[in-house]
Structures are given as structure tokens and as C-alpha cells.
Amino acid sequence: METSAPVAAPFAAETIGLTKRYPLTWKRKVLVALDHLDLQIHPGEVFGLLGPNGSGKSTTLKLLLGLIVPTAGEARIFGLPTDSLEARRRVGFLPENPYFYGFLNGDETLRFYGKLCGVTGPKLEQRIEELIELVGLQNGRERPLRSYSKGMLQRIGLAQALIHDPDLLFLDEPTAGVDPLGSAQIRDLIIRLKKMGKTVIFSSHLLEQVQEVADRVAIFSLGKKVLEGSLESLLIERQSTQINVPADLSEEQQQRLREALGQAGIDSQDIRFTRPHLSLEQLYLRTVQAQGDPGPRNSPRT
């Protein structure tokens, strides 16, 4: 008689020795797009894929979606083969620089993708209302997508990725070409999705944003994963401590602090007083929002 061992909850996404090579027949060479990738992403995690162009991030996403077939290794989504319909039902995808059917308007686009996922009738219409609200595309509902700005296309792309309420989201450069305010909104949306218990795997070149939302990151280079870990473990400098005080310290105050820290056994030569910097993004957002700008204007592409 067979006895079944207790099964651990599957990873949201898992790759084992995942490899993709493209033979360049004419040059008699082989392009290694991804080389033996081992990755384990837990449910509910926000995972950032970083790396220069052509480092294998998009290839990883396409392999995880079952859009391309690996040369070696395997990939699984919630323990399911990536090319199975069951796996795809649990996955939403926003491609890089998304381009949808320009002849459809916002509502029609979501209706089309919803029906493909088996969402129909009043449930679909309700879902469309929710998503239009979520991504802030009220003014794009009746407009054909060919008149959308890049930011609007990214947002309709996010909405279509979410139409069937997937558990895992793949976002390929979700903030590429979007203005800082729109980009901040997408970041906030990722945070909301995380709170809803979704797993998000995304690639981005905006390192600061990745830092703000990702639990863990992997850095790719030339088709290989060269670094992986939680931001906490990767970014904290354990050899130093920063103290923030809400005042501009005078020379005298600084000297007294040095003395106090010296008494605590810290060499006063190593103590530095600096003023914290705002990031340019923080400055931009503060300034624009102070002007009462409610968000992206959804202006057509010029």
C-alpha cells in the first residue's frame, strides 16, 4: 500500500538548472540566454530581477510562462508544469513595452482577455469596473488603445494581467517609459498586491523602486544569476550605525556627541556627521504633489 508523505507547500515559482540556448546557425555559435538558473520564490513574496539588458531577465519570465521551451532544466509554477493551463490560470503577465490590439478600447481589451481566462457575464463586468478603478484608467474606457500614452498602456497591461485574479504576477519592466508619478503609482500597486497575498516577480532598471518594494532580489549578468538574497541581508552595512536627529547640529553639539560616544567606547576618529539626502524621486514627488497634481494626466502619446 502506498503511503503519501506530507507534501510541503509548493513554491510560487521554481526553476531547477533552467537553461536556454539559441543556436546561431549562420555564425556557428550558440547564444546562451540563460545558464543553469536555480530560483525558488515563495508565495506572497515580491521578487525583483535585476540586471543589464540581455542578461536573461525576460528569458526567465518567458520560460516561467511556458512561452518558450527550455534547452535544459525545468520550471514550475505552484508545483505545476509551466505550459499547463492550470499553471496559466494562476499567472498574470505584463510584457515589456506592452502593445495590445489598437482597435479595441479599454473596456473591450479587458473583456477580451477576461473571456480568454473564462471570466464571463456580470462577474467579468464587475471585475472590469474594479480594475479600471484600481489602475486609474477611467478616461481610457471608451478610447481605442492606439491613442493611449505609454503610461496608459502599462496600466491597461496591468489590468489585463489581473483580470482573472491570478496568484502570481510577472511584470516585465512595469515602469519603463512611465513618468515618475505613474511609476510611483505602479510601485504602490505592487505593494497593494503584496498585501492582498499575491506573489509578484518583476524586472526593473529603477533600482530605487526595486529597493522600495522587493523582499528579495536576484542580479543577473550574461545569462547567469550572480547574486541573490533579501534586501536586508544584501544592503545593510553591518559595520556602521546611523543615528538620525531632527536638528541641524552645531559644531559644539557635534563635539559633545563625540565625547559622549567616546565614553561609550567608540573611537571619535571614526564618527562622521552628515545630512541625509532626499532622493531625486522623493523631491520630484513632493514638488509635483504639492502642486495638486492628482496623478498621470493620461495624455496621448505625442
Partner 1 sequence: MISSLNRIIVIGRNTLTEAVRQKVLNVLLIFSLVLVGSSVTVSQLATPGLDSAGLFDAQIKFVKDFGCGAIGLFGFFIALLSTAQLIPQELHNRTIYTILAKPVRRSEFLLGKFFGIVLLVALCVALMSLAFAAALYWQELQGLQATEAIYSQNPNWHTDPVLANAYNHDVQQIILQTRDPQLIEAILLIFAKLIMTTAIALLISTFATSSIFTIITTFMIYLIGHLESTAREFWLAGGANASIWQSGLVGFISLLIPDMNSFTIVDEILAGNKVPWSHALNLMGYADVYIVVLLAVSIVIFNYREI
Please give the residue ranges that form the binding site for partner 1 (CB under 8 A): 22, 62, 65, 67-69, 85-86, 88-89, 91-93, 95, 97-101, 103-104, 112-113, 115-118, 157, 160, 164, 170
The least CB distance from residue 266 to partner 1, in Å, is 55
What are the DSSP calls for 159-211, one per residue? HHHHTT--SEEEEESTTTT--HHHHHHHHHHHHHHHHTT-EEEEE-S-HHHHH
Of 42 and 146, CB closest to partner 1:
146
Please, which residues bridge with residue 223 across strands? none
Q: Which is nearer to partner 1, 17 or 102 (CB)?
A: 102
* 248: DSSP letter: -
CA–CA separation, 89 and 165 (whole Å): 9
In the complex, minimum distance from the CB of residue 290 to partner 1, in angstroms, rounded to a whole number: 37
Least distance CB 53 / partner 1 (angstroms): 16
Minimal distance, residue 242 CB to partner 1, in Å = 43
In whole angstroms, the minimum distance from the beta carbon of 3 to partner 1 comes to 34
Q: Return the number of the residue (24 or 67) whose C-beta is nearest partner 1.
A: 67
- The smaller minimum CB distance to partner 1, of residues 103 and 273, is found at 103
CB of 261 to partner 1, least distance (A): 56
CA–CA gap between residue 167 and residue 180 (Å, rounded): 27
The distance of closest approach from Cβ of residue 46 to partner 1 in the complex, given in angstroms and rounded to an integer, is 19
Rounded to an integer, what distance in angstroms lies between the CA atom of residue 188 and that of residue 192?
6
- Of 56 and 216, which has the nearer Cβ to partner 1? 56
Cell output for 77: 509554477
Total Cβ atoms within 10 A of residue 110: 27
Tell me which amino acid residue 20 is.
K
Q: Which is nearer to partner 1, 95 or 151 (CB)?
A: 95
What the block records as the C-alpha cell of 89 is: 490560470
Q: Of the two residues 100 and 220, which places its CB atom closer to partner 1 in the complex?
A: 100
Cβ contacts of 33 within 8 Å, gap of 6 or more: 20, 21, 22, 56, 59, 223
> For the packed helices 150-162 and 106-116, what is the interaxial angle rounded to 10 degrees?
30
